[in-house]
Chain A
Amino acid sequence: MHIRLTFMYDMGERARMLHGFEMTVWLSIVTIAASTVIGVIGVWLLGAHSVAVRRAVDGYVQFFRNTPPLVQLYFFFFALSPLLSVHVAGGGSRPMLGNLFWAAFSLSLFAGAFNVEIFRSGIEAIPRTTLEAAESLGFSRLQTFATIVFPLAFRIGLPAFTNNVVNLVKTTSLAYAIAVPEMLYSASQIWSDDLNVPEMMSFILVAYVALVAIVVWTMEWLERRLRIPGYGM
């Protein structure tokens, strides 16, 4: 059996494959960070006094959880983006924000919705007595959230959060549909030219497994680091 990993000896293809890998790593880092921030803010707003704010967050979560991420990507890039256009010299217009932005934006919102639910499940696992104790000690709502509630909720929700992060790293491959040159896009270009689909597919599978393994080891390290003695986590 003849194995042809053409990008090993073709410099142009190697550069493209490497760039694709970098793009996947970049997208993963940006979307993980942004979706975590969205999750924290979202779950904080879920406890707000205003009904409107709580409903808004709930609506956001429903919308981004109930629609497929590919459909969200298409919607943002093909339907929404042209509405935000600037005029170019020489007539015509150009969208302000490129496909890279929309991929990061859309995937962050998608994973953020799941994070809100994950952190909410962590918060609801905290015993009511702990919250009452904090309130009786004079902690404000923000102080309770920042120093007691969220650290505990995060530790409780860490396995589910790891799940979401791993899912997000794999979901970045959907960005190929809006022509973001990440790993799957670069690999598909190479196998269209060289017809070495099995080799390229195996390579990117191994690459994704390696990437996810790094993420999982990091999360496991985080889990060990955050362990609270006596809390059973």
Chain B
Amino acid sequence: MKFVRAFFIATLTAFVVGFWATAPASARDTLADIKQRGKLVVGVKTDYKPFGFLDPSGKVVGIEPDLAADVARRLGVTIEYVPVVAANRIQFLQQGRIDLMIATMTDTPEREGLVGIVKPNYYDSGADVLARKGSGLNTWADVRGKTLCGIQGAYYNKDVQDKYGATLQSFTGTAEALNALQSGSCVGFVYDDTFNLPKLNDPQWSGYECKLPSIEALPWGVAVEKSDDKFLAYMSDVVKDWHKSGLIMSLQKKYGLPVSEFAKRMNAEANHK
């Protein structure tokens, strides 16, 4: 009994000390840490082609790893990629496991309260339609009265039905919706353009096109730790330069995506000034 009590007190103390030790310290100075280490640690996706994925040799490649490599080049350090997913990307940043996060994260007010999101936004993503060739869907006015497949719960479904007048058949997963599209139950699949556009490079989808422009676009953000104002300001300049130099557009071309309206617009704005 005495042993149990001692063990219990020891565990409790360990917990308390442990929590105390991991309490957030004063504001981080990531730039200094990176320079001292000689290495930039970046969180990227490794399962989302073409934004962050593994090539056949197992190397991390994609639009976002390339952007991260550009940051490392500017800082004159080496780079280390840490694979992240949506469920842990913010947490890794908060815990200091990564210095920088470029992982297809949509910029929302809720997330702005958790991490420091770099402005200007570096990318955006909306909804477009993967349509069978010859179905005559050239503008959004053409979807009126047509049957489109979709995914249940997507934020743009309401507008697709009410504003554009399409009949929407929403399924629970992309596999079901794509099956319905291929069997001809619907003329097009309305989903995130980041999912639809890479399909055009897939030989299985050679009979399909994405002619419609993206609607309901939401911006993405590069993220740093919340209290790190110095790094935030630095990355803001970096992103501005990305737009000015057209790096985003050239990376889209490199990985087989059509150049997005957002990238073109940001490039034009940056060079106008």
Chain A contacts to B: CB under 8 angstroms: 12, 74, 78, 81-82, 85, 88, 90-95, 98-99, 176-179, 185, 188-189, 192-193
Contact = CB atoms under 8 A, between A and B. Distances in A.
B213 interface: no
Decide if the interface of chain B is mainly helix, strand, loop or mixed: mixed
Chain B's interface size range is 20 to 34
B174 interface: no
A123 to B, nearest CB: 40
Nearest to B169: A179
Contacts of A93: 183-184
Contacts of B171: 177-179
Interface in B126-185: 132, 134-135, 149, 152-155, 157-158, 162, 169-172, 176, 179-180, 182-185
A78 B180 contact: yes
Contact of A177 (B149, B172, B185): B172
Contacts, number: 61
B134 A91 contact: yes
B183 A92 contact: no
B183 to A, nearest CB: 3
Contacts of B180: 78, 179
Given A91-B134, A92-B132, A188 B152 contact: yes
A82 B182 CA distance: 9
Contacts of A188: 152-153
A207 to B, nearest CB: 19
Contacts of A192: 152-155, 157
A202 B183 CA distance: 36
Interface string B40-63: 000000000000000000000000
Given A12-B162, A189-B157, A78 B179 contact: yes
Contact of B183 (A81, A176, A189): A81
B217 to A, nearest CB: 18
Shortest 3 CB-CB distances between A and B: which pairs? A82-B183, A179-B169, A192-B153
A85 B184 contact: yes
B169 A92 contact: no
